[in-house]
């Protein structure tokens, strides 16, 4: 597809020039939408670039790559990575022959995606953008990935809007893969790490489980920012409201992220393979899906255009 005027290509742009563009476009690209300040502040700390370095992140990445390889059409294909952060999956896909366009609302992430792609070789297109208002033509992408936007949109109307936009830009019957945080993630993480012993922790966890709306009003740097945690039973409703067919709901990490010795298991190839095999056994079991920290919703865009 032709390049949009605001597309940033790594080649030919100096770091200082990209940073100036980043600051300018951070002010004017929203076109009526805006990322809340606390979410922007959280990601400007730069932690997203190292999120896959610990054991839980490594497991999430391994399983997500497995699902991408399983469901995506073969390369070359046009993939839109919405909320792609610093480009971890975009680079992985580009190295395998896909034509990848990444958008993200955080200027730092777009800059990091360019820097790493420039060092490692695969060319990707990266630009600022918002999942709720995609500046791409109808039916222009073979597949759309949303590995983050829906868990930073507490309002259902915003989640449906983001999904509807994904459906609009995807070719008829095209793949839409959406990552979600489980409603029970903070409860299980609190048990795993012992956070439930801290004052106020159980009250906060109870609110997460009851409403799905996770808040960090004091912006504590050790805690996650504003987010929405999906109950497995409500995901189909969001997809139906956006006129997208939900084919499967898959546990990404399954219960394995709770292992206290997960790093040791992942470091050993045989043990890592057994962990992955065990997750696959229950990856679509409805009674087990919610135990996973992250869920992957696999959908398809409508075969014909649906009037708004």
Can you give the pTM of this predicted structure?
Answer: 0.86
> Which tokens hold the place of 267?
């470091």
Higher pLDDT residue, 123 or 244? Answer: 244
Quickly tell me which residue has 């994904």 as its tokens: 166
Task: Report the pLDDT averaged over residues 138-148.
Answer: 97
CA 33/CA 153 separation, integer angstroms: 12
**Tens-place pLDDT, residues 159-187:** 999 999 999 999 999 999 999 999 999 99
CA 144/CA 122 separation, integer angstroms: 19
Give the pairing type, strands 99-104 and 227-230: unpaired
Lowest mean pLDDT among 8-22, 84-98, 231-245: 8-22
With pLDDT > 70 as the criterion, what percentage of the chain qualifies?
Answer: 87
**Tens-place pLDDT, residues 24-59:** 343 333 344 577 889 989 898 888 989 999 999 999
In terms of Cα–Cα distance, which of 152, 192, 196, 219 is closest to 56? Answer: 192
CA 87/CA 109 separation, integer angstroms: 8
Lowest mean pLDDT among 47-51, 116-120, 247-251, 265-269: 116-120
Quickly tell me which residue has 């799905």 as its tokens: 212
Q: How confident is the model at residue 9 (pLDDT cuts 50, 70, 90)?
A: very low
Higher pLDDT residue, 58 or 4? Answer: 58
> Which tokens hold the place of 161?
């809007």
Quickly tell me which residue has 């079991």 as its tokens: 285
Give the pairing type, strands 78-82 and 141-146: parallel
């Amino acid at each position: 597809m032709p390049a949009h005027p605001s597309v940033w290509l790594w080649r030919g742009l100096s770091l200082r020039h990209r940073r100036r563009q980043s600051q300018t476009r951070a002010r004017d690209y929203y076109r009526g939408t805006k990322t809340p300040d606390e979410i922007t502040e959280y990601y400007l700390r730069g932690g997203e670039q190292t999120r896959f370095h610990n054991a839980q992140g490594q497991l999430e990445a391994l399983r997500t790559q497995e699902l991408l390889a399983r469901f995506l059409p073969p390369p070359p294909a046009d993939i839109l990575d919405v909320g792609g952060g610093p480009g971890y999956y975009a680079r992985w896909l580009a190295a395998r022959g896909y034509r990848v366009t990444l958008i993200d609302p955080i200027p730092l992430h777009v800059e990091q995606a360019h820097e790493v792609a420039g060092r490692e070789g695969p060319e990707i297109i990266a630009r600022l953008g918002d999942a709720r208002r995609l500046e791409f033509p109808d039916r222009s992408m073979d597949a759309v990935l949303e590995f983050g936007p829906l868990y930073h949109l507490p309002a259902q109307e915003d989640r449906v809007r983001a999904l509807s936009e994904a459906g609009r830009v995807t070719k008829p019957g095209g793949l839409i893969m959406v990552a979600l945080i489980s409603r029970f993630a903070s409860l299980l993480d609190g048990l795993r790490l012992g956070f439930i012993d801290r004052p106020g922790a159980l009250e906060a966890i109870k609110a997460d489980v009851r409403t799905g709306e996770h808040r960090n009003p004091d912006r504590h740097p050790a805690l996650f920012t504003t987010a929405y945690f999906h109950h497995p039973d409500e995901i189909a409703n969001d997809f139906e409201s956006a006129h997208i067919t939900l084919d499967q709901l898959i546990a990404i990490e399954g219960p394995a992220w709770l292992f206290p010795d997960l790093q040791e298991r992942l470091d050993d190839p045989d043990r890592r393979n057994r962990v992955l095999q065990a997750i696959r056994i229950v990856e679509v079991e409805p009674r087990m899906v919610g135990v996973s920290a992250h869920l992957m919703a696999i959908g398809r865009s409508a075969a014909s255009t649906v009037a708004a």
